[in-house]
Amino acid sequence: MDQNAEQQRIESIASHIESIIELLGEDVSREGLLRTPERAAKALWYLTSGYRTTSDKVVGQALFEHEGSQIVAVKDIEFYSLCEHHVLPFFGTISIGYVPDGKIIGLSKIARIVDVYARRLQVQERFTAQIADEVRRLTGAKGVIAVCSGEHLCMKMRGVEKQHSATSTIHYNGVFDDASLRAEFLSMI
């Protein structure tokens, strides 16, 4: 998307946010809110940037030939996302392990893949599965496992208002169907 089209979308989002603020009963012309619609639109645009990129783009050429390695694990990659049900933040960490099949991926690229999917409207369950499945697709790994822990503001700020709740999800494929291999990964992280 070219910069002009991007700016037009941000301006349109800002217009809608201004309307929402007014519908909530607030005066958008008061000092503290003068630029809020624009700032909120830019923040939302950034927080959903995963819609405007792909894993293939962020990984590029960072796949390398490598024989060996039983499990490669990258743990505690932080992420920030927006719940697709309430458009409220959820955040946490995700740990990813894979068993290479002749190729390894640049470690920072795994974190970039996490960002591609975190920067979309999400549910944690799908997010965890998307990361595992995408790392496997890109690397051709024998198997991938992803373990995610997240805190959801939609549970903390509204609804049940449970301040100390956290959600854990796991998704695995390929050789990680083997419970002993999953246990080995879990002991690594």
- Enumerate the active-site residues: 83-86, 124, 152, 154
For residue 59, give both structure tokens.
């990984």
Query: Would you call 85 exposed, middle or buried from its count of C-beta atoms within 10 A (0-12, 13-18, 19+)?
Result: exposed
* Pairing relationship of beta strands 103-105 and 63-65 according to DSSP bridges: antiparallel
Q: What are phi and psi of 172, to 5 degrees?
A: -145, 160
* Integer angstrom CA distances of residue 93 from 6, 87, 114, 179: 30, 19, 10, 22
